[in-house]
Amino acid sequence: MNEGAITRRRVLQVGAGSAMAAYLAACGGDGGGSADDRIAFKTWEDHYLPEQLKEMRRTKDITVKVSFADDNLTNFQQLKRGVDYDVVTADALWVPRFLEDGLIEPFDPAELSTWGNLYSAAREVPFWKEGSLYTCYPHAWSPHLLYYNPSEVRTPPDSWEALLDSRYRGKIVLAKEPNDILAKAGCATGAAKPFAMTDAEIDRARDYLVELKPNILKLAQAGAEELRAFSEGAAIISTILGFDLRIKEAGGPEAKGVLAKEGTIGFADGEMIVAASEKRGLIERFLEADFQPEWIAKRFLKYPHPMFDEKAYKLLVAQGHKELLDRLLYNRPELAFDEDQVALVAPPPNQSAYTDAFNEVFGA
Amino acid sequence: MRSTKSSVRSRIAEYGGLLPAAVLLGGCFGFALVLTVLYSFWQVVDFEVVPDWTLENYRYFFTVDTYVRTFVATLAMVTVATALTLAVAMPFAYWLTRYVSRRWRRRLLIVVVLPFFASYLLRVYAWLGILGQNGAINRFLQAVGVADEPVSILLFNRPAVVLVLVYLYFPFAVLALYVALEQFDWSQVTAAMDLGATGRVAARRVLLPQIRPGIVTAVIFVSIPMLGEYVTPLLVGGTKGVMIGNLVANFFDTGEYSRGAAAALLIAVFVVAIMVVFRRSLELAVPDDA
């Protein structure tokens, strides 16, 4: 046989070997810390700083492996399937849902030295309390404001109703979040609980969106799309979180934010301890290291939205950021839990009705 | 005994090459398909799919006209985009096979497939920079004095979606048509014209029937993936350029897997129907004795 010839057996061997190598490479570890001293942290991008994690590893001997969270639903379903995380982030009323399904375990706040740094409003949230225990460590919050370009929009659109004005035809850009959009429409049409609307309320919200649709340029999947549309002048109104600062950073036109008169939706999130995790002691050490005011202040400066840590607020004020802090409502944590003004993100009890209404509005 | 052993070995060798594909397609695609079919007949309760049998997921799509309307709009966009893709690809493939030397053909074909080296998302995003208000076209129009201010009709509508789809699927059409045209014996056209046929008649009665499998392949390669598109309409279509894939994606994004599965299967059934229609044309390409 010719030595250089490729035999069928050789092809199959190489193929199988390559497939196995590719599979092993794809399953590869993250190269830091053993599974025992490592925290598997499923969270949003703005909940940590890489340099903070390095520092944590160096000074506290805690290794953190971060996985980005897509949304509350995905986190919820992953935990239900038994994916191995130790700490998971969730929004507002999703937290009781995690607890209800036995996915998280409450903790005793008295055991955490950083707990006292929180605003009292964040320490007394009814839906995050379980007796004397707490179900999540409050991190940050923000209402969804209506942002507008003041050089194009003379009268500030301070209500959802104002967005229906025909002058804004094709000039509004919204984030593509079906439940959030329906809930905002619920705010516009006076729904009692925008994330738990009745069928009649959903019908009213849908009618509002049908009327609003001609004014919507696009539903943006990523913040960058909204920034681009706004920067180019294609859009003049947006509802993306922290839009004024992001657009400024991107070198776009000025954007001003207003709270809608009818109320708005908002997020308030925190870190939860996964019930199946056996690293309770390590997790508590991690939370204490994670919620040091100095690091919270640094996180705020990188991702500016209100945090629940009062000590970090004072630190930032001392650093000369008071105007920014107060403009973003950092000093008003009670607003996050004022149901008349802010409807916090929650899993709709009738999700299919929300999705159907959304599709029926935004289909062709 | 020996011959039985060698026969088994030869059988294994014969089907050995099939094994990886069978595992991949049977294990992954087959499993996913079965799961999708089951999901479409089950229900989602409290964000979990539960095996409670129902036809409601299918019934829903025929009772809400948004879906039928969106599907029809999608078909219209796909038909126009496929026709335009072929209209651009056919002359190009013809020129490539007839007037370009073999050496340069290969180079040009590499240029055609070059976009595949960039990510799909990046290629679609690039069009925002071309069609946007500060994009290349608007800058050009303003520079030559055709427009005083940016033209907004270039983006976030159906024509923008069709344009980007044509760009994305052009290489597939070119490759399929090039293969068909390269194998065609052009002396037949010459012979037909020698016998009195006009150029148009020769093309219609000699060339087209023989490259029909290539055209059908191009149509399939182009139109079927387009039917399932949702990223392109999402990025460049705005609220006016929505396709059925966007509505399906919304079901999955919000955990409504059963409705999403039913919608995806309805589209799949339609695709299979197209394949059945095109089957005859494809069979001509592979005669039984080949």
Is-contact B57 B286, C-beta < 8 A?
Answer: no
Q: What number is the ipTM of this complex?
A: 0.87
Residue range A66-82: mean pLDDT, rounded: 93
Name A264's Cβ contacts closer than 8 Å, sequence gap at least 6: A143, A144, A145, A146, A184, A187, A341, A342, A343
Residue A75, pLDDT above cutoff 90: yes
Nearest to A351 among B70, B73, B256 (CB): B256
Q: What local confidence, expressed as pLDDT, does residue A11 receive?
A: 41
pLDDT at A19: 47
**Is B254 close to A221, i.e. CB distance below 8 A?**
no
Residues of B in contact with A206 (CB under 8 A): none
Mean pLDDT (whole number) for A231-256: 83
- pLDDT tens-digit map of A293-309: 999 999 999 999 999 99
Question: pLDDT grade, residue A225 (50/70/90)?
Answer: confident
- Within 8 A of A347 by CB-CB distance, chain B residues are 47
What pLDDT, on a 0 to 100 scale, did the predictor assign at position A159? 95
Which residues of chain A have a CB within 8 Å of the CB of B74? 364
Task: Output the pLDDT for position A1.
Answer: 37
Does the pLDDT value for residue A194 go beyond 70? Answer: yes
Distance (Å, whole) CA B203 – CA B89 = 17
Across the range A248-272, mean pLDDT stands at 91
Q: Mean pLDDT, chain A, as a whole number? A: 89
Q: From the list A76, A216, A352, which residue is nearest B259 (CB)?
A: A352
Q: Which of A218, A226, A231, A350 to mutate to probe the B interface, most B CBs <10 Å?
A: A218
Q: Would the CATH topology of A35-142+266-344 be identical to that of A144-264?
A: yes
B94: burial class by Cβ within 10 Å (0-12, 13-18, 19+)? Answer: middle
A149 CA: distance to closest CA in chain B (Å): 16
- Positions in chain B whose pLDDT score sits under 50: 285-290
The DSSP code sequence of A157-197 is: --STGGGG-GGGTT-EEEE--HHHHHHHHHHHTT-SSTTS-
- pTM check: above 0.90: no
pLDDT at A191: 97
What local confidence, expressed as pLDDT, does residue B8 receive?
78
Does A7 have pLDDT greater than 50? no
Residue B204, pLDDT score: 93
**Pairing mode, strands A87-91 and A38-43:** parallel
Interface probe for A, chosen from B133, B253, B257, B258 (most Cβ of A below 10 Å), is B253
For B34-93, the pLDDT digits (tens) are: 999 999 999 999 899 999 999 999 999 999 999 999 999 999 999 999 999 999 999 999
Nearest to A46 by CA among A287, A304, A346, A326: A304
State the pLDDT at residue A231. Answer: 85
For A106, list phi and psi in degrees, rounded to 5. Answer: -65, 160
Would the CB atoms of A356 and B67 count as touching at under 8 Å? no
pLDDT number for residue B41: 98
Whether A280 shows a pLDDT value over 90: the answer reads yes
List the CATH code of the domain at A144-264: 3.40.190.10
- pLDDT class for A35, splitting at 50, 70, 90? low
Which has the closest alpha carbon to A175: A234, A220, A228, A143? A220
Q: In this predicted structure, what is the pLDDT of residue A3?
A: 39
The hierarchical CATH code for the domain A35-142+266-344 is 3.40.190.10
Q: What is the mean pLDDT of residues A101-112?
A: 97
Between the alpha carbon of residue A21 and those of residues A12, A15, A17, B17, the distances in Å are 14, 10, 6, 19
Put simply, the answer to whether A362 touches B239 (Cβ < 8 Å) is: yes
Sequence spans of domains, chain A: 35-142+266-344, 144-264
Q: How far apart are CA A258 and CA A241, in angstroms?
A: 12
* Residues on chain A bordering chain B, Cβ-to-Cβ distance under 8 angstroms: 8, 12, 15, 19, 73, 76-77, 80, 170, 176, 178-179, 213, 216-219, 221, 225, 228, 231-234, 347, 351-352, 354-356, 358-360, 362-364
Q: Which of A232, A358, A364 lies closest to B69 in CB terms?
A: A364
Q: Which residues contact A173 (CB under 8 A, 6 or more apart)?
A: A216, A217, A218, A219, A220, A225, A226, A229, A230, A234, A235, A237, A238
Phi, then psi, of A157 in degrees rounded to 5: -80, 90
Report the alpha-carbon distance of residue A363 to residue B20 in Å, rounded: 40
Q: Which residues of B touch A80 (CB under 8 A)?
A: 48
Return the residue in B59, B231, B250 with the most chain A beta carbons within 10 A, the one to mutate for interface testing: B250
Write the single-letter amino acid at B159: P
First and final C-alpha spacing in chain A: 65
Look at A363 and B251 and tell me if their CB atoms are within 8 Å: no
Nearest chain A residue to B245, by CA:
A363
pLDDT > 90 fraction of chain B, expressed in percent and rounded: 78
Gap from A255 CA to chain B (nearest CA, Å):
19
Cα A222 from Cα A239, distance rounded (Å): 13
Chain B residue set in contact with A, beta carbons under 8 Å: 13, 16-17, 20, 44, 47-48, 60, 64, 66-67, 69-70, 72-74, 128, 132-134, 150, 152, 155-156, 234-235, 237-239, 242-243, 246-247, 250-251, 253-256, 259
